[in-house]
Amino acid sequence: MTQEIVHGLPSPSAEEREHSDKLRRAIRSAIDNAGGLIPFSQFMQLALYSPGGGYYASGSVKFGEQGDFITAPELGSLFARCLAKQIAQVLNQVNGGEILEVGAGSGALALQLLRTLSAQNELPPRYQILETSAELSHRQHELLAKHVPHLLHHIEWISQLPDKFNGVILANEVVDAIPVDRFTIINDQVQGVGVAWGQDGFRDAAYTVTGSNWNVIRNLNLPENYCSEAGFQREAWMRSIGACLQSGAVIIVDYGFPRHEYFHPQRSGGTLMCHYRHRSHFDPYLYVGLQDITAHVDFTALADGAAASGLSLAGFTSLASFLLALGILDIIEPIIQTSTIQHVAIAQEVKKLTLPSEMGELFKVLAVGKNLRYPLEGFAHSDRRGRLL
């Protein structure tokens, strides 16, 4: 069951292919044990998070130039410096507030936030990290121990959500990595698209969906042959986050749309994407365990999950508008005055974060909260929360 090398994509090494083949065999066994088919969400869970073999659980680089994709905190410190301003504003409203970062990746955001908040004397007593991947937790620890050893006593890795939390919960590009189910519309009915084992590899396989959670999709009245994803686990994740927040805010940054745009008639093939060494493609069955699999975020589903657990909407806007409201241009002003080399790098970073053709418009910021006394500064320029309805 060795995989083909695919034209147009870089080739994995023999060792990487062996790693992938081992994971494929494990997923094939799971399919056999389930009677020949598993939902796509189970396939995605195994491909990304199987201990030892899943994409996020194994030792590949993943983040940055040497990896498969670049996230906002990997570009530089501007994203974190703006976010720090928003965090400080929330922490000022919450007695004894702390920070909880979910899915901290390489640890880049934690490092920059700890540095910025500490320099401004605004670092709360604890910065918690909830990370599913043991390998990444280890990497985060190494990074933080190397660069901010004097702040390590503030940092705590936790393995599950606390029962109660006050302060700010952050999730940057985490929700897009939470498994989705896939479906298509056949004869006016919603049909699940699961995963089976074909002649020589994984293949899509139709199944009948049951359960009231599919009503959201049924009620969209999508056209024939429309294919997309349903993020039930994401909404459940949001509910569990909401259930532990006593006071403060949850800030979610990710690529996606409000529901009416997510399921737009023109987006009839869905939003599932795979990333391998900075190339994007649409085949989740390729290079299993070596590539990232992701789907855009339906922010209406997250807002529904938050409301179901008693949180209020605190803002929804584009990444560009959020960063501009938090003073990204003021932050770069003194840097631009100093050196030409830094000037060029910082201009590139601002462009990447704010241009509509880059991350500025596709990436959104959703904030939900409890017991917040003041409007959040990041939404002062534009608040599109009405579009989530």
Ligand X SMILES: C[S@@+](CC[C@H](N)C(=O)[O-])C[C@H]1O[C@@H](n2cnc3c(N)ncnc32)[C@H](O)[C@@H]1O
Return the range that interacts with ligand X (CB under 6 A); candidates 68-76, 195-203, 319-327, 345-353: 68-76
* Interaction between residue 56 and ligand X (CB under 6 A): yes
Among 27, 80, 100, 104, binds ligand X (CB under 6 A): 104
Among 177, 241, 295, 372, binds ligand X (CB under 6 A): 177
* Interaction between residue 76 and ligand X (CB under 6 A): no
In contact, 201 and 20? CB cutoff 8 Å? no
Among 40, 77, 165, 173, binds ligand X (CB under 6 A): 173
Among 178, 313, 314, 365, binds ligand X (CB under 6 A): 178
* Interaction between residue 235 and ligand X (CB under 6 A): no
Among 31, 38, 109, 368, binds ligand X (CB under 6 A): 109
Q: Which is nearer to ligand X, 63 or 226 (CB)?
A: 63
Minimal distance, residue 198 CB to ligand X, in Å: 28
CA dihedral 50, 52, 54, 59 (to 10 degrees): 160
Minimal distance, residue 24 CB to ligand X, in Å: 20
* Interaction between residue 103 and ligand X (CB under 6 A): yes
**3-class secondary structure, 381:** coil
Q: How many residues line the site for ligand X (CB under 6 A)?
A: 22
Q: Which is nearer to ligand X, 20 or 112 (CB)?
A: 112
Q: Which is nearer to ligand X, 108 or 113 (CB)?
A: 108
* Interaction between residue 133 and ligand X (CB under 6 A): yes
* Interaction between residue 90 and ligand X (CB under 6 A): no
* Interaction between residue 127 and ligand X (CB under 6 A): no
* Interaction between residue 360 and ligand X (CB under 6 A): no
Return the range that interacts with ligand X (CB under 6 A); candidates 22-30, 99-107, 242-250, 368-376: 99-107
Q: Which is nearer to ligand X, 110 or 123 (CB)?
A: 110
CA distance 148 to 143: 8
Among 23, 27, 113, 136, binds ligand X (CB under 6 A): 136
CA distance 87 to 249: 9
Minimal distance, residue 222 CB to ligand X, in Å: 27
Query: Can you say whether residue 269 is alpha, beta or left, with left for phi > 0 and alpha for psi between -120 and 50 degrees?
Result: alpha
* Interaction between residue 132 and ligand X (CB under 6 A): yes
Among 53, 73, 124, 315, binds ligand X (CB under 6 A): 73
Instruction: For the chain, report the end-to-end CA distance as a whole number of angstroms.
Output: 47
In contact, 322 and 378? CB cutoff 8 Å? yes
In contact, 373 and 93? CB cutoff 8 Å? yes
CA–CA distances in Å: residue 79 to residues 111, 119, 125: 12, 16, 22
| Nearest residue to 270 via CA among 230, 228, 299, 221 | 228
Beta bridge partners of 197: 202
CA distance 334 to 354: 19
CA distance 226 to 268: 5
Place of tokens 């009839």: 268
Binding mask of the shown chain, residues 180 to 219, with x at each position contacting ligand X by CB under 6 A: ----------------------------------------
CB atoms closer than 10 angstroms to residue 115: 18
CA–CA distances in Å: residue 168 to residues 127, 187, 239, 291: 10, 46, 16, 31
* Contacting residues toward ligand X, per CB under 6 A: 56, 63, 71, 73-74, 102-105, 108-109, 130-133, 136, 172-174, 177-178, 237
